[in-house]
Structure 1
């Protein structure tokens, strides 16, 4: 009898710990993925250090891609929030950890030398692997081209990754990122006849593109940082944050594609 009482007691406890009974026979049509963007980063470390940082500290990412071999590590399930982007904003949406998938690529980033800053190129196999992963994520979450951004896009005042050697054009050629037609850019630039638009114009156009930029009408440091972030992505030959007709033409062409 005593054995029966104990068995019943533990059975009740087990039933309580399993949670409420939920009927899952109905599914709402009004729903969608929580994921709105994919944010790309470099780790600024080698693979062992990258794994240590992303698994044993407060910083994390949904995926890490090694450099050689280009192994994909899933560190945080896509249904859970990874702590990879911090204070951030894109297209008016803030604190993007909640609505993004973060992908880190093992890459040292840059080295400051007596001859200036030297950026580290990405491994070809690593980018091939990234493209496969991006296509899979975008298909599953029904994301459109343009949903992939860099950390520097979402936080241009404090971040520069994935940097000016990241091959955005390869992602564009794979149909993942919108890219301005070179002939249209050249024609648009010629039409400007050497007249560089105002700081206010750049601020408005960059905001249309998705960047957070105060509409001050002044070419201040914050605006230059945003211009540089845009150039790092679309005009990698020169990313000094200076407004010019080529940057303006690229902006115009891209915004006309939206």
Structure 2
């Protein structure tokens, strides 16, 4: 008797499933028909933002799982492996809005929490050494994990090279992470982010040794690349902060905010390549 009843229930369930189109998805009190799909849309995620934690891994986990700040991913200082691949923490689903960017802007967007994925990397940032102030480096295992993670995110959301940025790029003067020790050029060679072509930089160096662009032109070029900066023609505090952020990313050997030939040549070369 029990066998007959079970067979009957299975038969009913099969009949219901067979009569329900595969495109109908049951939700809470209604069905969504997914047979038709729109073509006029794009991904919410347009930017990938790199951060450092400014502290160790236990502190980072405590802060990032608290009530004030969060990030989609956290890469530890020594990421463990599972089946030969690195393990990273995913703290927020990608479809959700993590609180990692704060007051921010890049290109034509502001409030980048709405349109970005954030990766926090365990790193102390500025440190004191026997030789004086320095920046903590990033471990090889960390960079391998960041590379694998970032490539996957970039591929799935078709994020453009210029939209892989540091927190300092989108919040100049307020944030300095991931700092000048972050290996942006190495990541570029692995297919992540933007970097100027050396030959183009050299050509602009030769040109600018003869005559440098004025401050208004430099501000305009920074704005064209993506930084939020008004064109005032004055080397003001905002311009200084943006130049420091630019140099930390693209000329980390010197990041004093001075618009010298090497800095400006890299900026022009980037705009030629990407903008």
- What residue in structure 2 maps to residue 79 of structure 1? 95
- What residue in structure 1 maps to residue 45 of structure 2? 35
- The separation in 2 between residues aligned to 1:152 and 1:225, in whole angstroms, is 9
- The separation in 2 between residues aligned to 1:22 and 1:181, in whole angstroms, is 49
- The separation in 1 between residues aligned to 2:131 and 2:44, in whole angstroms, is 45
Deviations 1:48-99 (A, max 9, x none): 1100000023200000000113530000000000000000000020000010
- What residue in structure 1 maps to residue 159 of structure 2? 143
- 2:124 pairs with 1:134: no
User: Cα RMSD between the aligned structures?
Assistant: 1.7
Secondary structure, in 3 states, of the residue corresponding to 2:119?
strand
Secondary structure, in 3 states, of the residue corresponding to 1:146?
helix
Aligned length: 242
- The separation in 1 between residues aligned to 2:156 and 2:137, in whole angstroms, is 30
For structure 1, which segment, 190-199 or 151-160, has the greater mean C-alpha deviation from structure 2 after superposition? 190-199
Q: CA deviation at 1:112?
A: 5.2
Can you give the 5+ residue segments of structure 1 that lack an aligned partner in the other structure?
A: 1-16
Deviations 1:207-250 (A, max 9, x none): 01100011111001110110111010111110000011111111
Using structure 2 for the length normalisation, give the TM-score.
0.84
- What residue in structure 1 maps to residue 57 of structure 2? 47
- The separation in 2 between residues aligned to 1:101 and 1:206, in whole angstroms, is 23
Q: 1:241 to 1:232 in 2, by over 3 A?
A: same
Can you give the 5+ residue segments of structure 2 that lack an aligned partner in the other structure?
A: 1-26, 81-86
- What residue in structure 2 maps to residue 175 of structure 1? 191
Pairs within 5 Å for 1:55-74: 55-69=65-79, 71-74=87-90
- What residue in structure 1 maps to residue 203 of structure 2? 187
Contact 1:86 1:95 (C-alpha < 8 Å) held by counterparts: yes
- What residue in structure 1 maps to residue 173 of structure 2? 157
Contact 2:79 2:145 (C-alpha < 8 Å) held by counterparts: no
Contact 1:86 1:96 (C-alpha < 8 Å) held by counterparts: yes
Instruction: Identify the match of residue 215 of structure 2 among 199, 206, 210.
Output: 199
